[in-house]
């Protein structure tokens, strides 16, 4: 395992691929490897890409990767799929995409699917980013399928979050945008060659104009982050970021140069405004919080008496106790032993 880590730090993509598999399996060896890799991480710039199904996210990620490669920058791609919690199989077509970028040592693609809880996926994603980062990839593109909690995790993991839209995806999508807009640093209207693309651009601009304050703190509910890190200063006190709308036709590699420029501008803004460091600390506090929660439950459960738990479950089933009171009972009993 130590050899594998050294090989990865030396630039071996094969070692990286093998380590990512180890990491995804969350073995004890993975723990040691990650502890060794962590000091070498923190140099990559992380870009999250999210949006509803059918917007062409994957094509956009490919096109963006090509743009970065043409500029001589190395790119790691993590395609995170939280929609398949049971199979553990990655849905996104790695091999299909690899055809475009095949043989290029400056790009590396990996798919990840939920094996256990969403918390487990977020943790595995953090770990995989750490490995790609330590391997020296300059840009890490983190793509996620679907809407919902996965977007929030992306917003937490990325420095710059792209929300991808496409023309004509129906009314319900419009409604969803309201929530998604709040995590967008850059809005992308892909398939911009479609006749109704300008309607989508206008609708998004209207939502941006009317919308709630930009970029709420995505960590506000994390117990630890409230204690550890100061919330970012309000926009009024510093230069505000104006969310741009960038139009692309990813399938033709059109517009991705402008998109890469917009990402670079956001990067510069984060540094200039001091937000880069604030968000980094928030992210670390949130990561610490999530890992701590899992570890606490694991430890508590290991100490529990199974017979007692089964009896408590019977009480719950027969409605003799409610779930929250059952938790309090368990906590009290745990303290006594």
- The reply on whether position 2 binds its own copies by CB under 8 A is no
Q: Of 71 and 96, which CB lies nearer to its own copies in the complex structure?
A: 96
Taking the complex as a whole, how short is the minimal distance between the CB of residue 274 and its own copies, in angstroms?
14
What string of DSSP letters covers 253-322? TBSHHHHHHHHHHHHHHHHHHTHHHHHHHHHHHHHHHHHHHHHHHHHHHHHS-HHHHHHHHHHHHTTSS-
Q: Which one among 125, 150, 247, 256 touches its own copies, defined by CB under 8 A?
A: 150
Residues 289-308 that bind its own copies (CB under 8 A): 289, 291-301, 304, 306
- The reply on whether position 146 binds its own copies by CB under 8 A is yes
User: Alpha-carbon distance 132 to 113, whole Å?
Assistant: 17
- The reply on whether position 49 binds its own copies by CB under 8 A is no
Cβ-count burial 105-117 (b if 16+ within 10 Å, e if not)? ebbbbbbbbbbee
Taking the complex as a whole, how short is the minimal distance between the CB of residue 332 and its own copies, in angstroms?
11
Contact 78, 125 (CB under 8 A): yes
Binding mask 161-190 for its own copies (x = CB under 8 A): --------xxxxx-xx-xxx-xx-------
- The reply on whether position 24 binds its own copies by CB under 8 A is no
Residues 248-277 that bind its own copies (CB under 8 A): 277
Residues 63-92 that bind its own copies (CB under 8 A): 81-87, 89, 91-92
Beta strand 75-81 pairing with 107-113: parallel
Taking the complex as a whole, how short is the minimal distance between the CB of residue 103 and its own copies, in angstroms?
26
Tokens 């550890």 map to which residue? 228
- The reply on whether position 145 binds its own copies by CB under 8 A is yes
User: Alpha-carbon distance 320 to 306, whole Å?
Assistant: 19
> What three-state secondary structure class fits 158?
coil
């Amino acid at each position: 395992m130590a050899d594998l880590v050294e090989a990865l730090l030396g630039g071996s993509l094969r070692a990286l691929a093998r380590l990512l598999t180890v990491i995804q399996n969350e073995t004890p060896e993975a723990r040691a490897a990650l502890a060794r890799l962590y000091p070498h991480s923190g140099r990559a710039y992380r870009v999250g890409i999210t949006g509803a199904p059918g917007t062409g996210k994957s094509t956009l990620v490919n096109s963006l990767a090509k743009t970065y490669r043409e500029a001589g920058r190395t790119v790691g791609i993590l395609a995170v799929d939280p929609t398949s919690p049971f199979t553990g199989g990655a849905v996104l077509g790695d091999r299909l995409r690899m055809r475009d970028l095949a043989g290029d040592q400056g790009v590396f693609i990996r798919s990840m699917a939920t094996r256990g809880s969403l918390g487990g996926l977020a943790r595995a994603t953090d770990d995989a980013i750490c490995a790609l980062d330590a391997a020296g990839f300059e840009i890490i593109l983190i793509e996620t399928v679907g809407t919902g909690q996965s977007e929030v995790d992306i917003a937490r993991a990325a420095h710059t979050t792209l929300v991808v839209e496409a023309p004509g995806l129906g009314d319900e999508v419009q409604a969803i945008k309201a929530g998604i807009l709040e995590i967008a640093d850059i809005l992308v209207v892909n398939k911009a060659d479609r006749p109704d693309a300008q309607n989508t651009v206008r609708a998004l601009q209207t939502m941006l104009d009317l919308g709630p304050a930009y970029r709420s703190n995505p960590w506000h509910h994390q117990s630890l982050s409230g204690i550890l890190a100061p919330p970012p200063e309000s926009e009024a006190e510093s230069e505000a970021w104006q969310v741009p709308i960038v139009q692309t036709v990813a399938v033709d590699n059109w517009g991705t140069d402008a998109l890469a420029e917009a990402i670079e501008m956001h990067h510069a803004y984060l540094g200039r405004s001091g937000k880069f460091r604030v968000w980094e600390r928030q992210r670390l506090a949130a990561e610490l919080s999530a890992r701590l929660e899992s570890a606490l439950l694991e430890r508590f459960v290991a100490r529990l008496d199974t017979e007692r738990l089964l009896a408590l479950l019977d009480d719950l089933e027969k409605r003799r106790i409610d779930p929250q009171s059952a938790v309090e009972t368990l906590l009290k009993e745990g303290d006594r032993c």
